[in-house]
Each structure stands twice: as structure tokens, then as C-alpha cells.
Amino acid sequence: MNYFDNSATTQLAPEVKETLCAYMDKTYGNPSSPYREGRLARKELLRARAQVAQSIGAIPGDVDNKGELFFAGSGTEADNIAIMGPLAALDGSKRHLITSVIEHPAVLNTFRHLEKQGYEVDYLPVDRMGNVTLDSLKGALRADTALVSIMYANNEVGTIQPIREMAELAHEVGALFHTDAVQALGKIPVDVKELDVDLLSISAHKIYGPKGIGAIYVKEGLDIKPYIHGGHQEYGVRPGTENMLGIVGFATACKLLLEDFEVRNAKKQRLAELLMKGLSESVSHIYFNGNDESKIPGHVNVTFKYVEGESLLMSLNLKGIACSSGSACTTGSDKPSHVLTAMGLPPIEAQSSIRFTVGRYNTEEEVKYLVQEIPLIVERLRKLSPIARRNGA
């Protein structure tokens, strides 16, 4: 399989798999138990927390004191807790919230839920390259804005937002700032102190770790209420016996990120550029989406005019190429991508768009294979399309 859908999920790194196997041999204990098995698990939990915290510059907690990093059931759950948790801890007098139209469903649908709870939400627009402008944020901020949530890097087009500047604007009116950094982690530096955010969410399976484990950064001193109720685990932020395999795997994935960070991302970007160059030279009537000046490495979102995205996806799949149209979360629905339409693409062209995301394990040979196969498939599909013929494609 030529896997070019690394923004949907990534393969488990062999090093992570080793960690999981070693952990399974080591203990099955509950980190809350007092005897040896429990103590071993507790030690591993603390070690893993410190490792994940380090990867984003957060303060890890210890046995007695909560720090700034809490594990959650997924990136989605991390987003939910990071947005709803602090609101539940506030006195409720501030009823205004701000997010953007291009957020992941984990954020968008949380805000839709909060609207039903009586909050007023502004959904900021984006420009043609997928950027939320600082001016639009400035214009939307109010004295009663409780929280702003803007994603660090977009999962469909890869556009990076100026999070530090945005957090600063939010803080000027006393609002909290959250960023969904799930796509940013591992591709660009993510440092919570540098960004000066109050809340941030990440997920392990987008960085070669296990699925079903995420984490939330909560700035020291900020109160946050759990929305599921249970025991004292994760310092009360997210009760429930810890997913230890997920957690230790997440930690190893974070450790790997810090090794060869620059080299790996330079390689992803080189392969992405090779793909873009190859497609530009061999396929007519295409254009690339996103902001070339400010995009995560390895991200290629391309519109093949006069081709139905789903048909192209299926044909590529038959050739052993995995990629996505829109985002995995919306595949299966026939709606055009909410991100691409928000950027101003006509719906028909949004539906003709494909996302290729290069990951750590992709090779130049694979990219060459894509550049060889895609033009043939696009040509065949366009031959079947009267609209394509009419437009000379």
C-alpha cells in the first residue's frame, strides 16, 4: 500500500510497538493500587506523562501535585474537555465564544452543542488560503468573550494559524485561548509557553502512536471541571482507569518526535514538493490549496478540475494508493468539504479535491509511482466526462 493519508492516521512506529510489548510483559497493575503491580504501573504513568509533557513544553505532574498535562480518550475528547472544562469552572457570566469555520468536527460540534446551552458563538471566516485573519479575531473579541478556540494547523489543507498572536489578542480582553494542535504536533514546533495558550489538545495516532489516546494541556492555575464523573484519575480532569498501553505508547511516540525532527520534516516536505512538481507537469487543469508560505510539511491538497473526487479516490485505491477526499471524518457524506468551501472554492471544485499527506515512512519511489499513475487515471476519468471535454481537459 502506498499510504498517503498520514493526516487521517499514521502507522504505529516499530519503536512504539516494542514499548507496548515490553509494558505488557512488565505489569498489568492498576496505577491506583498500593502493591507492587500498581506501583510499577504508577511509575510508568508518571514517566509517560513527563515524556508527553516535555514534547510540548508543559509541566508534568507528580504523585502529589497536578501539573499541566492530562490524558484523555482521544484527540476528540481532549478537544471537548479543553473547551467545555474551563467554561464549566467559570461563573457563567461570560456567554460569548469564538472559533473558526475550518475547525475539526471535534471542535465545531462542541461549539454547536454550547450554542444549544445558550452560548453565543462567532465562527470566524478564512481567506482563500485558509487563514483566519488577526483582524477578524480582533473584530469579534468582546468583554464577555469567555474562550477562543482556533486550530494550530488545519487537517485538510495544512494551513498554520498565527496562534501566539491570536492568544495575545484573546488575553487582552481576558478570554481564555485553546488550540487544537493535533495536526501540528510532530510537524512544526509545539511549545505551550512559546505559544502562550491556556489550553491545547493533541492525539497519539497522528504521530505514529496508538489510537484512542489523547492529551490536554491546561495552564497551571486554570480550573477545569470534568464532564464525565468518576474517580480521582488524571487529577480529576478525566476520571476512569488509565489506558496504560495507549499512554506508554504515546510517550514513546513523543520521544521519537524529538529525534531527527528537522531531518524528518525536511524529507516529508521534499517528497510533497516532488509530488506537486510531478502533478503540475503531467496533469492539466489542477491547482493546489492551502498557504505555501505557512503550511505543515508533507501536506498536498489538490483540485483536479472536471473529475469527481470520490471516483478518483476509488480508482487510486485500486492502484494501491491511499489518500482522502475532504477529510476522513466526512468521507461517506456527499457534502463538499466545509474547509474548502469556506476558503471560497466552488462546491463542485471542492468535490474534485484530494488530500495527499506524506508521513515518516513514505519513500521517493512511492511518490514516483503516484506521479506515474495519477495522470493516467485523471485522463481516463476526464474522457468519460462531457464537462471535461467541453472545457478542453
Ligand X SMILES: *Cc1c(COP(=O)(O)O)cnc(C)c1O
Binding residues vs ligand X (CB under 6 A)? 74-76, 79, 104, 106, 151, 155, 180, 182-183, 203, 205-206, 214
CB-closest chain residue to ligand X = 75
CB of 29 to ligand X, least distance (A): 26
> What CA–CA distance (Å, rounded) separates 375 from 246?
40
Q: Is 329 known to be catalytic?
A: yes
CB of 7 to ligand X, least distance (A): 6
CB count, 10 Å around CB of 369? 15
Q: Which of 21, 254, 323, 329 is catalytic?
A: 329
For 24, 211, 253, 349, 362, the CA distances from 249, given in Å and listed in that order, are 11, 10, 6, 39, 21
User: Could you count the other beta carbons within 10 Å of the beta carbon of residue 226?
Assistant: 19
Query: What does each C-alpha distance from 322 to 4, 207, 318, 390 come to in angstroms?
Result: 5, 18, 9, 30
Question: Which residue shows C-alpha cell 506508554?
Answer: 248
When the beta carbons of 75 and 130 are compared against ligand X, the nearer one is 75
Give the integer Cα–Cα distance in Å for 81 and 88.
10
Strands, E assignment, 165-213: 176-180, 199-203
**Nearer to ligand X (CB atom), residue 124 or residue 393:** 124
Contact, 162 vs 293, CB < 8 A?
no
First-to-final CA distance of the chain: 29
Task: State in angstroms the smallest separation of the CB of 183 from ligand X.
Answer: 5
Task: Burial-class residue 281 by CB neighbours within 10 Å (0-12, 13-18, 19+).
Answer: exposed
> CB neighbours (10 Å) of residue 97?
25
Closer residue to ligand X (CB): 55 or 203: 203
Tell me whether residue 29 or residue 85 sits nearer to ligand X (CB atom). 85
CB 206 to ligand X: min, Å:
6
Task: Output the smallest distance, CB 322 to ligand X, in A.
Answer: 16
C-alpha cell of 4? 498517503
Q: Please, which residue, 210 or 226, has the CB nearer to ligand X?
A: 210
Residues with a known catalytic role = 329
